[in-house]
Homo-oligomer: A and B are copies of this chain.
């Protein structure tokens, strides 16, 4: 008898861990709990995380499970996401979660609830922009969810260039009100999350106009929808902007304001005031606003870590389970994780997930200490903080989106299915390269900072922090790599990154100087060197990344068990070597290394693939992501990828009936249209 795949088997398979994955776990050389606690920031945090996971994925699993999500229409996604928001907000009230807990919950739930801007932008906006009196009015309403809000800044025609925003708030002295307008098509607010269908209020950014004089952009509290029946308020038109690559659970919206009147006290007046008689008073600079912008970018770096973790988890587990082809005739098909090319797709992402974890954590520490100083009136770190957060947001999201896509491809055809999880992750993570500052614009901001610092360094003023390398003597450099074994020395490798950054940044600075001296107008000089400036920023940011990563790993090696320390150092060394090979052109062109050194580094990079191989599965297990957070048929802990793929098809709407309705409407006519069949 031929073997048969029966219905009984399909319905009754046992959820045992795939033996290939089990075997991988047995080759782990370190204690996995130790690493889990390191990543969580202590055992107590691990416990807290697991408790939170338990609430959402045990007590409310029907609502929060990922399984139906890939099969929902946009409206269904939105509705489910509103339901989740409401539940999360109720639970927040019940458990009195802190902001930090809430960040963790966001991560656990993959940021999959519609009203998240209420807590990430609307309430912080009130706290930052409103006077104490205004806070006393609005915060209790927002905190008790009697109102839900968003932050409406971006317009159809303007994103990055805030100065160009067109919405106006014109003061009407007679009625003591502002009249808010989006005067042109391009002026309508466009993109804010929750704006389309959900929110009752928005902080609307508008150009303040008094007696035809423009006083710049200021925030206004605008009621969008009736608190009785949720219908739009008079004079405004709003809706959902439509389907996106991902995040279709969120109703990003448009808003047209047509002579919408708000009382004078709805201008949030912490930083600037308009008096009853229409006098404009600037109260303080926007350093605190500035700090908020920085904070959001630091948070994005941290989100990037989560996308990398998910992609690495899916692709490493799947690659351990998937078998395909054999290199040696007569032997069983091999795990695709054993192919060198597959390792080269997957391990950089795995290492980067650790790198970005440590960088994000260091950035956050720095932000917090610098912000404390800013509140004390000391702004000395602000310029560097701004340049580094902008640049690293760009550099790390660019790097990670590429890696996530490579991981997706490493899953072959199945990586194209939404239930792969890594497909959804990829398209979601693509938002990060544009939101909160388009990446090219951000690189150029970093580059401007670097040019200033370089000018300082050249003129003898010592630079500090991330640009301290600019004080070095470029000409005295000799390549520290004298043998292949030097390629395992993180300090020597760091030297290479430093020299490359220094040379590339210096090269552009000199070029700019030359162009200026040739009499070209400043804007032409800047525009004609934009590509080079971007390249310089990347070289610098690459250095910052590995610098922070190495520092944290050094620290970890000194404090953790030797077994774990060794693996952490290996992973870090691989990441640093990989970066050099990726940018080989830059390293050669800046004469940081020669052809021999590059060949050693390339070879050593390949050696590390073999070194990392036995711990690969354990290194993703240590992220300890809940199956519901990984949200992937290919990446579950049990590794039963084919069962999970097959099971997912029961949620597919096209499978609701054996014969699809379109047969009766369209196909039958075609099939029966010819001669009568003789079959």
From A21-29, A223-231, A275-283, A384-392, give the one contacting chain B.
A223-231
Q: Are A185 and B666 within 8 A (Cβ)?
A: no
Q: Closest CB-CB distance, A638 to chain B, in whole Å? A: 14
Closest Cβ neighbor of A172 among chain B residues = B2
A659 interface residue (CB < 8 Å to B): yes
In the assembled complex, the Cα of A209 lies from the Cα of B1 at a distance in Å of 12
A516 interface residue (CB < 8 Å to B): no
Q: Are B642 and A185 within 8 A (Cβ)?
A: yes
Known: A71-B74, A327-B527, A588-B589. A2 touches B259 (CB 8 A): yes
Report chain B residues within 8 Å CB of A434.
409, 412-413, 415-416
Q: Closest CB-CB distance, A295 to chain B, in whole Å? A: 21
Among the listed B164, B183, B256, B444, which residue makes an inter-chain contact with A2, where contact means beta carbons less than 8 Å apart?
Answer: B183
Q: Are A444 and B341 within 8 A (Cβ)?
A: yes
A327-363 CB mask vs B (1 if < 8 Å, else 0) is 1100001000011111011000000000000000000
Q: Are B527 and A186 within 8 A (Cβ)?
A: no
Report chain B residues within 8 Å CB of A328.
521, 523
A140-184 CB contacts (< 8 Å) to partner B: 141, 144-148, 154, 156-161, 164, 168, 170, 179, 181-184
A55 interface residue (CB < 8 Å to B): no
Q: Are A244 and B674 within 8 A (Cβ)?
A: no
A671 interface residue (CB < 8 Å to B): yes
Q: Are A658 and B435 within 8 A (Cβ)?
A: no
Q: Are B413 and A433 within 8 A (Cβ)?
A: no
Q: Are A675 and B168 within 8 A (Cβ)?
A: no
**Chain A interface category by residue count:** 35 or more
Q: Are A240 and B673 within 8 A (Cβ)?
A: no
In the assembled complex, the Cα of A655 lies from the Cα of B659 at a distance in Å of 31
Number of copies: 2
Report chain B residues within 8 Å CB of A557.
none
From A78-86, A97-105, A474-482, A565-573, give the one contacting chain B.
A78-86
A667 interface residue (CB < 8 Å to B): yes
Report chain B residues within 8 Å CB of A258.
4-6
A663 interface residue (CB < 8 Å to B): yes
A591 interface residue (CB < 8 Å to B): yes
A438 interface residue (CB < 8 Å to B): yes
Q: Are A666 and B83 within 8 A (Cβ)?
A: yes
Q: Are B185 and A79 within 8 A (Cβ)?
A: no
Among the listed B161, B531, B588, B665, which residue makes an inter-chain contact with A340, where contact means beta carbons less than 8 Å apart?
Answer: B531
Known: A324-B161, A419-B243. A339 touches B530 (CB 8 A): yes
In the assembled complex, the Cα of A523 lies from the Cα of B338 at a distance in Å of 12
A651 interface residue (CB < 8 Å to B): yes
Q: Are A531 and B83 within 8 A (Cβ)?
A: no
In the assembled complex, the Cα of A646 lies from the Cα of B237 at a distance in Å of 12
Report chain B residues within 8 Å CB of A85.
666
Q: Are B588 and A243 within 8 A (Cβ)?
A: no
Q: Are A589 and B595 within 8 A (Cβ)?
A: yes
A677 interface residue (CB < 8 Å to B): yes
A30 interface residue (CB < 8 Å to B): no
Q: Are B417 and A242 within 8 A (Cβ)?
A: yes
Known: A146-B675, A146-B677. A416 touches B438 (CB 8 A): no
Q: Closest CB-CB distance, A339 to chain B, in whole Å? A: 6
Report chain B residues within 8 Å CB of A59.
none
A212-248 CB contacts (< 8 Å) to partner B: 223, 227, 229-232, 237, 239-245
A243-284 CB mask vs B (1 if < 8 Å, else 0) is 111000001001010110000000000000000000000000
A460 interface residue (CB < 8 Å to B): no
**Residue contacts A-B, CB under 8 angstroms, 19 given:** A2-B259, A3-B181, A4-B181, A4-B259, A5-B184, A71-B74, A82-B665, A145-B674, A154-B413, A161-B333, A230-B668, A241-B652, A242-B417, A243-B652, A245-B418, A327-B523, A340-B530, A341-B531, A591-B595
Q: 9 new A-B pairs (CB below 8 Å) besides A3-B168, A344-B531, A528-B606?
A: A73-B653, A83-B666, A198-B660, A239-B655, A242-B418, A245-B423, A327-B527, A328-B523, A413-B435
Instruction: List the 8 closest pairs (A to B, CB-CB), nearest first.
Output: A584-B585, A3-B183, A585-B585, A327-B523, A73-B73, A144-B674, A240-B654, A79-B662
